[in-house]
Amino acid sequence: MSGTPKYSGRPSLSHASRSILINLDDIEQLVTIPPDGGWGWVVALSAFLVNFILDGTIYCFGIFLDDISKELKVKPTDVAVANSVLSGFYYLGGPFACAAINRFGFRTVGFVGGILATISFLWASFLTKILPFVLTIGILGGSGFNLIYAPSAIVVGFYFERWRALAMALTLCGTSLGVIIYPPLMITLFRNYNWRIKFRIIASFCACCGLLILTYRPIKPTKIGPAVQFNDFSRGISAATLQRDSEANAGFATIFQRLRNTIFPTISEIPRSHYTSFDSAGSRSSDISRFIMQRRDTDTADIQSTFIKCDSDECLPASEADQQIFGAGVKTRLNKCWQRLAFLDCCKSSSESSININRPMYRDDIFYAGSVYALPQYPKDSQPVDLLNPSLMYTLSVTRAATQRDLWQERQCLLCPEAFLRTLATMLNFQMLKSPPFLIVVLSGFLSLQGMYIPFIYIAERGAELQIEKSKCYMLLSVIGISNIIGRISCGTVSFFPKWDVNCITYVGLIICGTVTILSSFMKTFSEQIIFCIVFGYTIATFSVLRTILFVEFFGLENLTNAFGLNMFFQAVASFSGVPISNVLYKITGTFVASFTFSGGVILLSGLLLIPIRRLLKREQNTRN
């Protein structure tokens, strides 16, 4: 993985460029340390249950087609359009939901989403016409699902670092478990109820999602060091030059572009002259190693007690071992506990560290689903370590600085505050679309998702067409879910082995998945359909689990948020178009053979597109050099 050519479409920004673009804003060095356990496991369990409800509803929507179509007097394929619109809005509002989370927090956004989703399914259960049904479930329900999904997709990465891969894998298994349990739950347990009652039950599940998200409580950040002005990064750039540049580029588009995360420095990039500590001679120095690590669950008040006030304005070292690490004349006391940052400014008040503001979207790795140990940003044993804990060094290297204006706006009633706009500017930076390798990767994702929903929605209808018993047809969905959960766990282990070729695993999986989907129309018996479901469920997991790992390997961690945001728009278009195209093919041919052939064909093509990516990245890199 380390030898893979990286996307180089974004020119590197000098400190001077950052100064000009941000126009003298002061930055605040706020760092949120993931607790890696404790309440985080409660959060992971809640996210697991949320995925169970959301994706179980979306992927198993096909079990309602027959009942709804009979009562509304339309074809099952017309009812399936509602699920297509629901899935489209599920992805379409992703960047806006993430921006809202960055400003208002996980719980506010998720709770509002729970309310919208509850209203949509409750309202739809009373409708008698297909068009209002499609619009209610699709637009209102999809928007609500999006506001629920976004916090659950982000929060696990916010709470976990060392155990992220495990927590992510367990959370994503909620999707597979939903596919396993929903069919017997709705078909067997609630068999005496019609679809309207079942939709009201789903509405209560959505309300539970809103309540589960209330467990996503914010983590108190730690402030390290004083505020820093961006013009401190630009030696020789005058304030007059910066002001003139600001006035010349005052358009909204320019302002939008100058708020991208990559414009802002990470905490580790801030010049060391802005860190205050003591050297071995007892005078102030700028060595970044002057951090102490306290227990993650230590309250801010305990941080203040770490520093011992002395009449002589001196603080004594804690032990001889501490003196050997920090120098014999160091004027600070070290707390033995670790895993929280506190800035070593002797007798410094901790009141500034009590700012309770979370900005999860300022972390470059917030969407990363793999092991952070495989990332180049994580210090290796062979690398010199400035901090006592490599985990803290990693956190500093992936956390982007916030501005004082951003924090000041926290208590202001603004339509588009910086925290909101900065997330949108990062996720919707269309400059990456100029890179042919990136276009091919997102096109591959587009085709994968376009074909993926068709088997989930129509597997039972196609089983009936093959004259398989109806109760057995619904069992096929559960088989896909069982196989998928095994596939997700298998793919989740890939990130622990950096030498494994993630791209090769992905395109081989997609090629097999596409091929077996095409052949599935010729598998006439129930046993043969079981084989198809096992292979399909296992191999399609490569698309879901390895996507963010591919983005990081090909385009770098600093571009992950941007790549993820653009990819969500491509996935939204795929969701809008996949099922309607299969419906047209069904109406033309009168059979699901063409629909499943189309599904398998686009999945197969999505895998083939990934084969030449490494060569294209290398060629692009050589061209730019």
Interval 4-57: pLDDT, tens: 555 544 433 333 333 333 333 466 667 778 888 888 899 999 999 999 999 889
pLDDT, tens digit (0-9, with 9 covering 90-100), for 200-238: 999 999 999 999 999 998 887 776 655 555 544 433 333
pLDDT for 321 equals 44
Residue 439 has pLDDT above 90, yes or no: yes
Taken in order 423, 424, 428, 431, is the CA torsion positive or negative?
negative
Looking at per-residue pLDDT, the higher value among 272 and 85 belongs to 85
Q: Give the 3-state secondary structure of 62-95.
A: HHHHHHHHHHHCCCHHHHHHHHHHHHHHHHHCHH
Residue range 33-218, CATH number: 1.20.1250.20
> Lowest-confidence range among 28-32, 48-52, 103-107, 152-156?
28-32
pLDDT, tens digit (0-9, with 9 covering 90-100), for 515-537: 999 999 889 889 999 999 999 99
pLDDT, tens digit (0-9, with 9 covering 90-100), for 351-403: 343 356 788 888 888 888 877 877 887 776 655 545 456 777 888 888 888 87
pLDDT average, residue stretch 250-271: 69
Residues 6+ apart with CB under 8 A from 314: 331, 346
pLDDT for 108 equals 92
Inter-CA distances, 303 with 64, 156, 163, 390, Å: 56, 26, 25, 21
Residue 347 has pLDDT above 70, yes or no: no
pLDDT for 299 equals 36
Distance CA 483, CA 176 (A): 8
Residue 88 has pLDDT above 70, yes or no: yes
Task: Quickly list H helices, 279-435.
Answer: 300-306, 320-326, 390-398, 404-408, 418-427
Residue 471 has pLDDT above 70, yes or no: yes
pLDDT for 352 equals 40
Question: Quick one: which H or E segment has residue 461?
Answer: helix 436-465
pLDDT average, residue stretch 417-436: 87
> Lowest-confidence range among 49-58, 197-206, 330-339, 555-564?
330-339
Question: Quick one: which H or E segment has residue 30?
Answer: strand 30-31
Which homologous superfamily does the CATH classification assign to the domain defined by 429-625? Answer: MFS general substrate transporter like domains (1.20.1250.20)
pLDDT for 441 equals 93
Residues 6+ apart with CB under 8 A from 113: 97, 143, 144, 145, 146, 147, 148, 149, 150, 151, 209, 210, 213
Residue 86 has pLDDT above 80, yes or no: yes
Give percent above pLDDT 70 in the chain: 73
Question: Quick check: 24 and 231 in contact, CB under 8 A?
Answer: yes
pLDDT for 96 equals 92
Residue 63 has pLDDT above 70, yes or no: yes
pLDDT for 450 equals 92
Q: Where in the chain is the domain with CATH 1.20.1250.20?
A: 33-218, 429-625
Question: Quick check: 341 and 392 in contact, CB under 8 A?
Answer: yes
Distance CA 622, CA 615 (A): 11
Distance CA 314, CA 278 (A): 11
